[in-house]
Amino acid sequence: MEIGYKGIPVFFEEKGSGSAVVLLHGFLENTAMWEGFFPILSSKYRVVAIDLPGHGKTGCLGYVHTVEMMADVVREVLRYLKIRKSVLIGHSMGGYVALAFAEKHPDAVKGLVLLNATARADSLARKQNRDRAIAAVKKNHRSFIRIAVTNLFRPKNRKLFREEIAKTKSEALKTPLQGIVAALEGMKERDDREVLLHFSPYKKMIIAGKKDPILPFDSLVEQTRGTEVELVEVPDGHMSHIENKEEVLSAICWFLQK
């Protein structure tokens, strides 16, 4: 399905009935990343997966796609669907968008799951890495995508999940140059939202890859210390929905049933 927002198309998929569950993909991904989750989750819940700006079939809204602006797009889709309250599940960049949404609209959140995502802002080193990535994208965005996607997986899994990696790259290559740069700029500028893990009233979970090459596992453990956030550890990399699919799906189903 598709709605219009500020002159661009916003694509989303909706299936099932019951309590609403909103799926938000990561950087260089789109709704296709949830294919293995959609049938199981939609058998019990009303599941909505949204292509965020500059990704999938959703258009670009400028040079910088802030996570706050992406959260506004999510809000617009939920308004259109007349969904008042939902559980938000975000992978990586989708987690940053979910946090921005939760900060803006706490009363619209029933629960929050961060999948390979941090509540902290980018460190200086991470911001510098984003700048290098932007330069690499502008030089050769197809080459950047191929390398970037491979590097999200734990090294020992790169051969094991060769087909899944090829499919992920194929989907990522649909992301336009403008969408890639705008997302990198937006993630670089995002605020620290660790306070939400401590003081928000809804239930929360972080699913963390022990060998995530992007987000240090120890940092995610630190963020949950002294909070009521459920921390689920899975053994592999940043692409837990592929590398540890069964564990992730099981954790999400358990969280939704609570």
In this prediction, residue 258 carries a pLDDT of 83
Beginning with the edge strand found earlier in the chain, give each strand of the sheet holding 20-24 in spatial order: 2-5, 8-15, 46-50, 20-24, 86-91, 109-115, 203-209, 230-234
User: What is d(CA 135, CA 137) in angstroms, rounded to the nearest whole number?
Assistant: 5
pLDDT band at 120 (very low <50, low <70, confident <90, very high): very high
Question: Based on the structure, what is the number of domains in the chain?
Answer: 1
At 175-206, the pLDDT tens digits run 999 999 999 999 999 999 999 999 999 999 99
How large is the average pLDDT for residues 137-159?
95
How large is the average pLDDT for residues 228-237?
97
Distance of CA 121 to the CA centre of its chain: 15
User: What is d(CA 211, CA 169) in angstroms, rounded to the nearest whole number?
Assistant: 21
Model-wide pTM > 0.95: yes
CATH, residue 192: 3.40.50.1820
In the predicted structure, residue 243 carries a pLDDT above the cut 90: yes
Nearest to 23 by CA among 43, 10, 37, 9: 37
At 53-110, the pLDDT tens digits run 999 999 999 999 999 999 999 999 999 999 999 999 999 999 999 999 999 999 999 9
In the predicted structure, residue 136 carries a pLDDT above the cut 90: yes
User: What is d(CA 189, CA 65) in angstroms, rounded to the nearest whole number?
Assistant: 10
Tokens of 25: 């993909």
**Domain membership of residue 82 as a residue range:** 2-257
User: What is d(CA 98, CA 159) in angstroms, rounded to the nearest whole number?
Assistant: 32
